Each structure stands twice: as structure tokens, then as C-alpha cells.
Copies of this chain bind each other. A is one copy, B any other.
Amino acid sequence: MIGVDLGGTKLLVGAVDSELAVHHRAHRFSRGVDQAELLDIVVDAVTEVRQALDTDVAAVGFGIPCLVDRERGVAVMAVNLPIADLPFRDVMSERLGLPVVIDNDANVAVLVEQRYGAARGARHVVMLTLGTGIGGGLVVDGEVYRGSTGAGAELGHMVVEMDGPKCQGSCPNHGCLEAVASGMALAREALRVAEAEPESGLGEALAGGREITGALVTELAHDGDRSARDVLALIGTRLGVGIANYVNIFNPEVVVIGGGVIAAGDLLLDPARATVAQRALRPSRDLVRIVPARFGAESGMLGAAVLAFEELAADHTA
């Protein structure tokens, strides 16, 4: 099976077997190209992977960071990709001569975590991916939850501070979890500390000309810097408020935290867990596990392949 993580900046194509081993990978850039170029790039990368294999490919799965109409196989509202309203599934299937399945990238990420990763065996899973923003994926009774029109599980856009800061990008809301606990919020809080406390580790990094990013905060925190650890604890505590909400709403067995920010590990998760223990309701709070994702940058590609496996199996059964 071939999985494709079709991002707005780059795409990753992988040949994945039923044990989730990756046999060949192809990388391409996708930023700034038009629709015809993008389709050519995808076909080229998939063809490279097919040719590297000595077995036939049954289908190709795509994870795409946008709202997907699964009935029609169309990527709706694709902000960073020139494929909006294109019948992507059918066009790609014709170009490749293979069955094609498509879904939102967060949906396929939670799918692979629930089938093979940190939430394996759990029937009810909440996943939050902390990057620039906060993405969300839900598994309900063993199946990915998409909502009535596929727009569900926007888990980063839950208000936890009614009169809080304006949320990011096209979100019109204020005080969303994304606005206060994402990678952007982490960098913003770190910059605030760096400016207010020039003698802190963050302050010295700023004075030394370094850009204050989430990755830098994590690096300094792992080196033992107090100011960086405090900022991670602040973000982790806010994250915990959001997780406590989802624990009360879903009573899940597992909450999986992925995305780049999870590089901070327990420096982020321990304050989050402590907050859930203080704020969420019994018995849900005592039962839930809050764990880092198993699959990082490859979760979209792997999840897209898992989706393709499952949909092909379902078609054969039907």
C-alpha cells in the first residue's frame, strides 16, 4: 500500500506493508506550485515509489491538511494547496490507475495511533497535535469521528478563556486552546519571559541573537534552564485544562499528544497530567492515560496507508 502525506510545504510518499514497515520513501516540495504542477509532482513521487517495489500496489491513501468531502472525494477549503473543489480522488485515481482514498491528515494520524501506536487497543481516543496550531483527531467506539459533514474534531478550537486572545489564522474566536497552548503560544510566552527577564536562559538566548521558537524553549528546558521549564509548565497547565475538558466530554481511555511541541515530553505532559487530576471529573480522570504520540513526522503518511488498507478490505467485504 502507498501512503501520501500531502502537505502545503512538502509531500512524503511511502510504500507501507501490513506490518507498518516502510519499504521506500519519496520526498517532494509542494509550496507555491499551481494545480497542474502539483498533480504532476504527486504522480511522479508515487511512480518513483512504485518502481522501487518488487510487488504490486493495491491502492494509494492521501492525508491532506484540509476539510475533505469523503463522499465525493474532494478537498474542500484547502487553504495551502491549489486543489480546492477539484475531484481529487477521481482525478488521481485515473492518473495513477489505482484506487485512491483521501482523508484529513489529523484523521489519519489518530487512525494510525489507535491501530498501531500510543492508543493501540483503545476504543475511545482523543488526539491533539501541537504544532503552529493545534489539530485534533477523534476515535469513537473504534472508528474515526468526522462529524455530520466531515468538519468535526476541530479540537484546537475549543474556547478555554472566553475573553482570551484572538485565535490564529481564519478562526474568528477568542481564547481557543490553540490561542493559548499551541507552539505559537509557547514561542510568544517564551519571548515575553526573555524580554522581561534578561538574565534568564531565555533572556540570554534572545540577547545572543537567537530566535525564540518552541524548539529553542525545548532545547533549553532539556538542558535544565529554569525559565524555559517554567514556560513549558505554563503551556502544559493550559493544555491540561483543555485535556480535562475532553476527558469530561469523551471519557476516553487514552489522550494522545503529538506534533512538534511534544519533543518537550514530560516537561509538558507532567503539568498537563497534574491539571487533569485537579480539574476533571471522577471516574474518567482516574482511568485516562495521557501519552505522547508514537508516530511523529510520518504519522500522516503511515495513517494514509492504514486508511487505504482498511477501505480496500471494506470494499472486498461489501
Residues of A within 8 A of B (CB): 67, 76-77, 122-124, 136, 140-141, 145-155, 157-163, 171-174, 238, 241, 244-245, 248-253, 278-284, 287
Contact = CB atoms under 8 A, between A and B. Distances in A.
Nearest to A287: B149
A129 to B, nearest CB: 15
17 contacts: A76-B283, A77-B282, A77-B283, A122-B148, A124-B148, A148-B252, A148-B253, A152-B249, A152-B250, A152-B284, A153-B249, A155-B248, A159-B160, A161-B163, A162-B238, A162-B241, A171-B281
A245 B148 CA distance: 15
Contact of A158 (B76, B158, B174, B238): B158
Contact of A147 (B77, B150, B174, B251): B251
Contact of A152 (B148, B163, B173, B251): B251
B157 A160 contact: no
A210 to B, nearest CB: 30
Contact of A151 (B77, B122, B241, B283): B283
Contacts of A283: 67, 76-77, 149, 151
A77 B163 CA distance: 35
B159 A245 contact: yes
**How many copies make up the complex?**
2
Contacts of A157: 245, 248, 280-281
Contact of A284 (B122, B151, B155, B238): B151
A239 to B, nearest CB: 11
Contact of A162 (B123, B124, B147, B161): B161
A274 B85 CA distance: 29
Contacts of A124: 147-148, 152
Given A148-B251, A151-B284, A154-B248, 11 more contacts: A123-B148, A124-B147, A124-B148, A136-B249, A147-B250, A147-B284, A154-B249, A155-B248, A159-B241, A162-B238, A173-B280
Nearest to A157: B248
A79 to B, nearest CB: 12
A251 B159 contact: no
Contacts of A152: 124, 249-251, 284
Contacts of A278: 172
Contacts of A148: 122-124, 251-253, 287
Contacts of A150: 251
Contacts of A67: 283
